[in-house]
Copies of this chain bind each other. A is one copy, B any other.
Amino acid sequence: MGEFELTILGCGSARSWARHLPSSQILSYRGKLFMIDCGEGAQREFFRYGFNLNRVGHIFISHLHGDHCFGLIGFISTLVLQGKTGELTIHAHRDLEALLAPWLDYFCRNDLFKVVFAPLPVKGGVIYEDKSLAVTSFPLRHRVPSYGFRFDEKAKLPHIDKSAAERYGIPLKELQAIKEGAGYTLPDGETVPNERLVLPPSPSQSYAYCSDTVYTKSIVPYIKGVTVLYHEATYTGEYAEQAKSRYHSTAAQAAEIARQAAAGTLIIGHYSSRYKDESRFLEEARPIFPDTVLAYEGMKFRF
């Protein structure tokens, strides 16, 4: 179990209000909250689940269709009303700034809070980085420019081998240097090499979000080996033609992508409003990729 926690705020598509909310997720990592897409009503779910507004610094918008971004103005407006200060960076298609900036100026003017627009690079690339995490965007294929996001934990430091530390009587203050590669010099002058003091680091976890997109193998290299993959599955196989013509995917296609990418777990969502029951999505995905789960509002997934 790693340090990521994904919370699904909404996993429906544009017209599926009766059973679902439009797309939005919160990825929590070491106390930081990253919002991915922000459909209408996302603010309500954000506060319902008790998230702390001061922990949100970055919002990633996959594409400019309403069910992925109409909640932005309300969410940001409420953050300002609640007294959030500092900066909030929105990573989105460059058209968003011209659309949203006049609304922010009219409804959310505040000297203590600033929204920064970070246009997504057209061909994708690293769009966020801190000392423990990197976020990469990559192009999906949809009716409008659409991007996937991959969150990667950076390589971790090794663990201290506690039995070795006890055996050699290593003081606490030396442990960080040893994690970073140092050996330890004993009182008699002998140096114990680093490899005898440490155990392998925890594996780095990763998450990728792919919605909305038609089935395309072109995304596989970007999501290779990801721990958890969220891939849209708007339709079941019966509507494969509609999926293709509307640049969406079926459950089987999402599973096929997960299989090719050798993902750990596949979460599917973005269900079309025509479905009253999502069990068919699982039935179609699991034969291809057994470790598939259905997204639902309120779902939490730790990895």
Give the interface segment out of A102-110, A119-127, A168-176: A102-110
Q: Which residues on B sit within 8 Å (CB–CB) of A71?
A: 40
A103: chain B residues within 8 A (beta carbon): 99
CA A15 to CA B74, docked complex, whole Å: 10
Asked if A82 is an interface residue, CB under 8 A from chain B, the answer is yes
Tell me, yes or no, whether A1 is within 8 Å of chain B by CB: no
- Listed from nearest, the 7 A-B pairs whose CB atoms lie closest are A40-B74, A66-B77, A70-B74, A17-B44, A41-B41, A66-B107, A70-B73
Pairwise interchain contact A66-B73, C-beta atoms closer than 8 A: yes
Which residue of chain B is the closest to A106 with respect to CB atoms?
Answer: B99
Are B64 and A106 in contact (CB-based, < 8 A)?
A: yes
Q: Is A288 an interface residue, CB under 8 A from the partner?
A: no
Interface CB pairs A-B, < 8 A, 8: A14-B78, A40-B40, A64-B106, A66-B74, A98-B102, A99-B102, A99-B106, A102-B102
| A5-55 with Cβ < 8 A to chain B | 14-15, 17-18, 40-41, 43-44, 47-48
- A190 close to chain B: CB less than 8 A: no
Q: Which residues of B contact A17 (CB under 8 A)?
A: 43-44, 47-48, 78
Residue A112 interfacial (CB < 8 Å)? no
Cα–Cα, bound, A99→B81 (Å): 20
Tell me the bound Cα distance from A24 to B48 in angstroms: 21
Cα separation A102 to B73 with both chains bound (whole Å): 15
**A39 closest partner in B (C-beta):** B74
Q: Which residue of B lies closest to A70 (CB)?
A: B74
A95 at the interface (CB under 8 A from B): yes
CB distance from A250 to the nearest CB of B (A): 21
> When each residue 75-106 of chain A gets 1 if its CB lies under 8 Å from chain B and 0 otherwise, what string results?
00110011000000000000100110011001
Task: Tell which of A40, A41, A82 has the most Cβ of chain B within 10 Å.
Answer: A40
